[in-house]
Structure formats: C-alpha cells, structure tokens
Amino acid sequence: MYLDRKPTGCTWHPDIDPSDGHLLNTINFDPASNNPFDVPLPWLAGDWESECWRTSTPSETFELKGWQIRRTRDLAFVAIDVPETGLANPADLEAAALASYRQLFALRGQLELPHLQRVWHWLYQLLEGDGEAQRYRSLCRGRARAVDEVEATLPPATGIESARPGLRIQALFGTQPITPVENPRQVSAYRYPREHGIRSPAFARAAITQLGGTRYLLLSGTASIVGHETRHVGDVRQQTRESIANVAAVMDTASADTSAQGLKGLAGVRGYVAAASNAGVVASELRALLPGVPVTLLHGRLCRPDLHVEVETLMRF
Ligand code: 3EB
C-alpha cells in the first residue's frame, strides 16, 4: 500500500505510479464533512489538501455494526461518528469510548484482520471539563477500560480536538502484527503518571508494520513532551523543534533502516496547530527542519492546553 498525497502546489511523487493502484480511501480535511473517513479539521497550509490511500488490489465499501468499512482482502480503513448527544457528560463520554473501543477490537474478528495498525480520535471540545471530568481524560478512561479487557498490542494513535460536534474514530486494520516502538526521550504514554489523568492514554509512540508488500514506520501524534512533561510552554518554534527531535528519536529507535533514512525519508508530515495564527511559524520551522518532506498543516487544539503543535508522520522502508 502507499499514500498518494494530492498536492496543491508542490508535488510529491510516491515510489509507485498512482495509476497502477486501486483507491482504498480518500481523506479530505473538512470540519463540515459528515463522511467519517474525513478529518474534521480546517486545512491551514501546506503541500496537500486531501489524501488518497491506494492499494495494489481492489477494495469494497460497506457498513458493519455501525462502522463504515473500506477494505481489500488484507487491509481495512474503518470509521465511525458517535453523535454529541451520546457524550453529554463525563460518564457518557467514557461509556461511549469504552463501547467504541470494544467494537473496534471486535472488528478484528469480524473483518478477519486480526491486527489493529493505527487509530485516530477526533473529539469535539476536547479540553472542556475540569480535572477528571475533562473530555479527553474521559476518552482515555473508556479506552483504557476496553484495552484492559482484550489481548491487543497498543497501536500508534492521534487525538485532536474536532471542529465538528461528536467523537469520530478512524482506524486501520491489517493481517500483520505490529511491532510497537517507544521513544527513549519520553515516558510511554501508557505509563504517564496520574497527574495527567487517572487512566493513561493507551497508545504506542510508533509501530513497525507491513502493509501490502511495504514496510512502514507509523508514528503517533508527537508533541513537545520530554519525559512526561510539556516543554517550551509559550514558544511554538521551540515546541516544533522538540516535536521533530522526538520523531527523530523514534526513527533512531525503530530500526537501522529507518535511522539511516533520517528525517528526509519521511513520506509526509501532518502538523496540527492549536492556534491558526501560529501556522506561519510552524510551517517555516518544519520547512527548515525537514527539507524536501511534504508537509500540511491542520487547525485543531491538542490534548494538553500548553501544547501549541503536534506532528504525525510515517516512513516507508
Ligand atoms: C502525548 O504525547 C500527546 O490520546 O491517543 C498524542 C497522540 C497524544 C495520541 C491519544 C495523545 C494521543 O501525550 C498527546
């Protein structure tokens, strides 16, 4: 499988000719979209405004237990929208996250694709609520409870405030087990101390996996966190640099091949910017740090109020 980023100005040519492939999924960046495969955020700037995920075999689209599914024999994108009416208070939000994650794990058997590869969460008003009543923390509690119930390798994940009411969850399933990769500069998120929430965020920093015939390193949303603490509060430029230092540390840890490619080998970077007014600084910093790498910036608040920027990325190797 490969990614075909649709550029708006600058062009990125994936290794495989896109005309050879079959379309698996199209992802638009659109806060108003009711298509659960879309990212519910405004696009700010950058090299592509939508993503086409292509595969070497044909795909089919259908619904299963309330989830939208786009799959080939070996790979599936799944997505669901949980309406805001089901998230009215912290207990309801936790229960909705628990139920959604139970369904997600059950889909492994129903799709006969036993390995969860990657998850994205988009939650409206992510930081509303104090202490444990915060909506992000409620999501983390429900997710952690579901993870406790099953045998599963934690996947890489992204969690961003949605511009659209409700909770949208998207995930990728495959046939191959993933090999999680942690970051030696960061406490694993699933071991964060209680000050960040009574249930830690259950995700891996990255994972090595094989999709189709290609090996990938898939990285989670990565921010300016060292140890478990936010660094460079109030300094968006330094937070951008620290985020990329974390990406580099994960790549160095993952394998000799990903380490050897270095940052220039990244297939593309989605940057999430909490304040649209910071887009220019983040863009110029990412351009300087990642010459030649396609970058696109989206507008969404992050799961700590002191984070200004977060990046997610992937590498073929
Ligand atoms: C962090 O490192 C930043 O809760 O699924 C990044 C990626 C973050 C995923 C999630 C949270 C999540 O803790 C926040």
d(CA 51, CA 129): 33
CB 264 within 8 A of CB 291: yes
Q: Is the pLDDT of residue 82 over 50?
A: yes
Cβ of 274 below 6 Å from ligand 1 = no
| Confidence bin at 298 (pLDDT 50/70/90) | very high
d(CA 209, CA 66): 27
CB-side neighbour CA atoms (13 Å) of 190: 18
pLDDT for the residue 256? 98
At 161-219, the pLDDT tens digits run 999 999 999 999 999 999 999 999 999 999 999 999 999 999 999 999 988 778 999 99
| Confidence bin at 7 (pLDDT 50/70/90) | very low
Residue 98: give the domain boundaries. 2-316
Cβ of 101 below 6 Å from ligand 1 = no
CB 270 within 8 A of CB 296: yes
Number of domains into which the chain is organized: 1
At 123-154, the pLDDT tens digits run 999 999 999 999 999 999 999 999 999 999 99
Q: Is the pLDDT of residue 57 over 70?
A: yes
Q: Provide the percentage of residues in the chain whose pLDDT is more than 90.
A: 84
pLDDT for the residue 19? 54
| CATH code for position 129 | 3.30.1330.40
pLDDT for the residue 54? 79
In a 3-state reduction of DSSP, which class is residue 257? Answer: helix
d(CA 4, CA 18): 7
- Atom 13 of ligand 1, residue of closest alpha carbon: 189
Q: Which residue is associated with the tokens 């005309």?
A: 19
Q: Is 229 left (phi over 0), alpha (psi -120 to 50) or beta?
A: beta
Cβ of 144 below 6 Å from ligand 1 = no
Q: Is the pLDDT of residue 69 over 90?
A: yes
Q: Provide the percentage of residues in the chain whose pLDDT is more than 70.
A: 93
Counting from 1 in the atom list of ligand 1, the atom nearest the Cα of 139 is 4
In a 3-state reduction of DSSP, which class is residue 53? Answer: strand
pLDDT for the residue 22? 79
Cβ of 271 below 6 Å from ligand 1 = no
Q: Is the pLDDT of residue 1 over 80?
A: no
Q: To test the ligand 1 pocket, which listed residue (134, 169, 203) has its Cβ within 8 A of the most ligand atoms? A: 203
Q: Is the pLDDT of residue 18 over 90?
A: no
Q: To test the ligand 1 pocket, which listed residue (303, 311, 313) has its Cβ within 8 A of the most ligand atoms? A: 303
d(CA 126, CA 303): 7
Query: 123 C-alpha vs ligand 1 centroid, how far in Å?
Result: 13
Cβ of 314 below 6 Å from ligand 1 = no
pLDDT for the residue 25? 85
At 210-240, the pLDDT tens digits run 887 789 999 999 999 999 999 999 999 999 9
Counting from 1 in the atom list of ligand 1, the atom nearest the Cα of 196 is 13
- Atom 14 of ligand 1, residue of closest alpha carbon: 303
Q: Which of 138, 159, 204 is nearest to 39 (CA)?
A: 159
